[in-house]
Every structure is written in structure tokens, then in C-alpha cells.
Amino acid sequence: MTIPRHQDGHATHPVHEHESLWTATVSMPHFAPLAGDVEADVCVIGGGIAGLTTAYLLTQAGKSVVLLDDGPLAGGMTGVTTAHLSNALDDRYVEIERVHGVDGARLAAASHTAAIDRIDAIVKAEHIHCDFERVDGFLFLGPDDSHNGEELLDRELAAAHRAGLVGVEKLPRVPVGATGAALGPCLRFPRQAQFHPLKYCAALAAAIERASGRIFTHTHADSIDAGPPARIKAGSFTVVSHAVVVATNSPINDLVAVHTKQAPYMSYVIGARVPRGSVARSLYWDTHDPYHYVRVQPGPESAQHDLLIVGGEDHKSGQADDTQERHARLEAWARARFPIVDGGHAIECRWAGQVMETIDGLAFIGRNPLDKENIYIVTGDSGMGMTHGTIAGILLMDLLLGRENPWTTLYDPSRKSLRAGGTYMKEAANMAAQYVDWVTGGDVASTEEIRNNSGAIVRRGLVKLAVYRDEHGTLHERSAVCPHLGCIVGWNASEKTWDCPCHGSRFDKLGRVINGPSNRDLTTPGA
């Protein structure tokens, strides 16, 4: 792997490696762990944008709410998003209409528009300083579509209009700014938005507390008994509540039902310095598969630069380990199109996050399939976690308050999207293929080959071990079998995690679970 170099010979070493722009610039408020039994109307598990928005709206509606998170607040995927707030769906309206019909596409458009409007309203009502601003969004052609792309844009424009989006138009070129490369024709989506997700989440948490909601972090929900009333065990303590919302990115309470309908993908991001004002503040994304997505975050007042945030290079989780190459390709792609500052710190940060892609392009929000009526889930962000997380807050509030909501059926976790069957079969085959890892060899023949601060899968007889050698040379051995449904995890050298290729569980280097659906750590061999 060669790290890109520029005219002055400096390598583009980032200031923040494996750290998002958001976590590098904001410290989230601290909350104590649960230290006694408590009761509430609703227990929300998970303190990302979906859990916090749900808790916020419920407390505003007068409900008593307890929120639990097993890490710091917003320490999961909310901290590594690029925070595009868009009603131009990732899968694009032609596909959403094919799978969900015109009426479904209209509801999807209306719900994402409402999510942006709700964030706008909350920002104003709570006087939140989170860099929220309305911007335009531009869909332009990827290299593969540059020849026949005009027709692609025309079809998408017509589908967006049928979905009820107002003001979407085709332009002859992307108005990227005076110094950017010509990106060709595009669709303009008005009244999109962007913000700093952690500033927003920190303010939501403060507002929840002001409304008498209770937040406990570093509190792991070990089990959920639906009751009623529901009983959530967390260590030695219990939360008793009428209802439970599981907002843990990938549900920890549902072993199978939704996990066969979504798949985890890693996505990569760089934050590059561009001269202040040189790139118009807008959202940009192309038609490539996987697509590139771009936005501009203003730099600090004292600086002469903005940060161009560029994402893409997605792959199925646990099925590639070439992070540096992917970040380098992103940088090359961005340099060919935008006026990135040259110099040693042109790339200010590089990070990665996991996206849960559903088979039909929309999140699963509502009552958990096969569970009692008081257990709700939100999962399947589909690359639109900020708007889907906010839709979850609005929809779950209505369901919990017994109100009608027109989006209920569209987002129902029990739905069967028959027209998405091809995607379902493809993902099912991919998951099934992962079980072959049970009989293959390890990444290395012996633990001697594992360098310090690195990990590898090692076969020992009939079993496979996830072996990490720490900075001091000490080996830490765990079973490589994911406690969820038994796939073999893989080492992620960039993030220093063990990632499961089947349904997205992730574990830290010592095997402690950091992302569901597994709710348990990798086991210690022989324990």
C-alpha cells in the first residue's frame, strides 16, 4: 500500500486516524451507570439518534422515559455518520417505486421530508447550536453512467416528482463552486440539510433530562422480558416499564426475523481540507455503485479552510480488510473533482462506519416481529441513519401514544417486500457462504505470525480462535464463533475489531461486543 504523496512530497497523514470529525470536535456529556432498580413508562435501549429522538419526543409528550446505553452516548454509528439530511433516498426513487409502489414512494418521500423538518423544528425550539443549515442536494453521474446517464437522471426526476417531491429539477452541470471540476448534469433536490450530529445529540440528551427523562450510560441490557410489564435486566439492576424500544442499530432482542432481511456493509470516509468557500455548501452524491457521497463542513473561524467530507468504497462487513487502499481511492477520487489543499495535513481525518442495508431500501421501525405488543425496534438505517432515526422517533411516539401514523405499514418490521426477492436471495446466499469458514484454515498457521497490536484467525484442531496480540506481545484468545448465529468473525485491521460477516455484530480486540445483534462477548476457549 502506498500512501498518496503530493507535489511537495508530503504524505497525507491525517490528524485524526480512525476518528470521525464529530468525535474529534465534541465531547459528549457523561451520565452515570444504572445503580438501582427503576420504573418508567418506556425504556429506550440505545443512545444514538434513533433512541435519543424517541426519548426526546416521548418526554415532550409527558411520558416517563429511561434510556440505557452500554457505552457513551452516541458512541455507535451516530458518531461516524456523515450526517446528510436528505429526502433523496439512497436507493433512488425509481427503485423505491418498483419495490414499494407509487404510494409507498410517496410515503417514503413524505416521511424523510418530515424528518428533516422535525430536526429543523427541534433545533429552533431547543436553541441548539449544531451547525444545522438547509442546503441543496445534487445527484450526478458516476463514471459508469456518463454515456447513458441523462436518461437515468430523467427517469429518476420523473419518479421523484411522482413521489411528491417539490422543486426537484435537472441542471446541465453541478454548481459545485468556481474551482471544482465539471461534474456534468445533475438533479437538484432543494431543502436538504446538514448538521453536526454529536452537537445535536448532546443537546437532545440535555433536553431529555430537563423533561425529567433519565439517561444511564455504560449500562448493558443483558435481557429483555416482555412481561407485561417489561423487565430489562442490566447487571444487578432491573428497569420495569410498560414498553421497550430497542434502538441498538441492530436489534439485540431479535435473533432471526429482521436479520435475514438486512445486511451489514462497511463504508469509508475522509475529511479533506479545501480552501474556505471553494466548494459550495451542498450535499453531493453520484450514481456509482457503491456511490460516493460528499458534503462540506465549515472549518473553525480562525482557519482558512473548510472540510470536504467524502464517503464511499463500501463492502460487506467482515469480507475485506484493505482499509488503507479504500481510503486512498477515496482521496484520489476527491482530488480529481475538488480543490483539496496540498500539504502534510490535507487529509484531516479518516474513519469508517457500518451501514445496515435492508433488502427493500427502507428501515424497519415498529413492533418487533414474533414478540409481544410492547416491544418495538428500529434498525436498517439503509445509509440514511439520521433521517430514518428521526422517522423512528416520530413513528414510535405515535405508536406508543396509540395514535394513527400513515407510515406504520411502510416501515413495519414484519413486512414482506416480494419485489425485493432478488436482493433477499443474493444476501441470503452471501450469508450462507460465510459458514464455509467453519471448515477452512486460519488466516495464519500459527500465533507466531501475529504482530503486536494485531489479530488473526487461527485454526486449532476443530475449532477456530480469534487471537489478538497486544502492544506488549501478550496473546488474547477468544472463540471465533459469533454468539449470535455462529458465523466466524474476521479481523478488521484498521478498526482493530472482530467483525461478523453475517449480520453485523462487532467485537473489540478483546472480544467484547460493541455492536449487535449479538448481545454477548466472544467466549473464552475452555471457559
Residues that bind ligand FES in the complex, under the rule CB under 6 A: 482, 484-487, 500, 502-505, 517-518
Number of Cβ within 10 Å of residue 391's Cβ equals: 27
Q: Following DSSP, what letter does each residue of 187-256 receive, concatenated?
A: EEEEEEEE--HHHHHHHHHHHHHHTT-EEE-S----EEE--SSEEEEETTEEEEEEEEEE-SSS-SS-SS
- Give the residue from 361, 359, 343, 116 showing the smallest Cα distance to 258: 359
Backbone phi and psi for residue 208, each to the nearest 5 degrees, phi listed first = -60, -45
As given in the structure block, the three cell numbers for residue 14 are: 491525517
Backbone phi and psi for residue 130, each to the nearest 5 degrees, phi listed first = -130, 25
CB of 316 to ligand FES, least distance (A): 12
User: Taking a C-beta distance cutoff of 8 angstroms, is the pair 488, 437 a contact?
Assistant: yes
Compare residues 254 and 306 and give the one whose CB is closer to ligand FES. Answer: 254
CB of 227 to ligand FES, least distance (A): 26
CB of 318 to ligand FES, least distance (A): 9
CB of 481 to ligand FES, least distance (A): 8
- Give the residue from 374, 66, 413 showing the smallest Cα distance to 225: 374
CB of 105 to ligand FES, least distance (A): 31
**d(C-alpha 236, C-alpha 459), whole Å:** 37
Compare residues 410 and 482 and give the one whose CB is closer to ligand FES. Answer: 482
User: Taking a C-beta distance cutoff of 8 angstroms, is the pair 367, 373 a contact?
Assistant: yes
Compare residues 94 and 255 and give the one whose CB is closer to ligand FES. Answer: 255
Compare residues 196 and 509 and give the one whose CB is closer to ligand FES. Answer: 509
User: Taking a C-beta distance cutoff of 8 angstroms, is the pair 215, 204 a contact?
Assistant: no
CB of 290 to ligand FES, least distance (A): 21
**d(C-alpha 458, C-alpha 436), whole Å:** 15
Compare residues 337 and 484 and give the one whose CB is closer to ligand FES. Answer: 484
CB of 54 to ligand FES, least distance (A): 24
CB of 464 to ligand FES, least distance (A): 13
Helix extents (H) in 379-511? 385-400, 408-411, 421-434
CB of 20 to ligand FES, least distance (A): 23
Compare residues 143 and 486 and give the one whose CB is closer to ligand FES. Answer: 486
Compare residues 85 and 487 and give the one whose CB is closer to ligand FES. Answer: 487
CB of 501 to ligand FES, least distance (A): 8
**d(C-alpha 374, C-alpha 447), whole Å:** 48
User: Taking a C-beta distance cutoff of 8 angstroms, is the pair 279, 306 a contact?
Assistant: yes
Compare residues 23 and 492 and give the one whose CB is closer to ligand FES. Answer: 492
As given in the structure block, the three cell numbers for residue 265 are: 456493509
Compare residues 450 and 485 and give the one whose CB is closer to ligand FES. Answer: 485
- Give the residue from 59, 25, 30, 18 showing the smallest Cα distance to 42: 59
Q: How far apart are the first and last CA of the chain?
A: 39
Compare residues 239 and 457 and give the one whose CB is closer to ligand FES. Answer: 457
Q: Which residues contact 314 (CB under 8 A, 6 or more apart)?
A: 265, 266, 267, 268, 290, 355
CB of 282 to ligand FES, least distance (A): 36
Compare residues 241 and 368 and give the one whose CB is closer to ligand FES. Answer: 368
Compare residues 105 and 247 and give the one whose CB is closer to ligand FES. Answer: 247
Compare residues 78 and 515 and give the one whose CB is closer to ligand FES. Answer: 515
SS3 assignment for 274-328 = EECCCCCCCEEEECCCCCCEEEEECCCCCCCEEEEEEEEEEEECCCCCCHHHHHH
Q: Following DSSP, what letter does each residue of 132-173 receive, concatenated?
A: -EEEEEEEE--GGGTTTHHHHHHHHHHHHHHTT-SS-EEESS
DSSP state of 516: S
**523 torsion bin: left (phi>0), alpha (psi -120 to 50), beta (else):** beta
CB of 356 to ligand FES, least distance (A): 11
As given in the structure block, the three cell numbers for residue 351 are: 474513519
CB of 513 to ligand FES, least distance (A): 10
Distance of CA 36 to the CA centre of its chain: 32
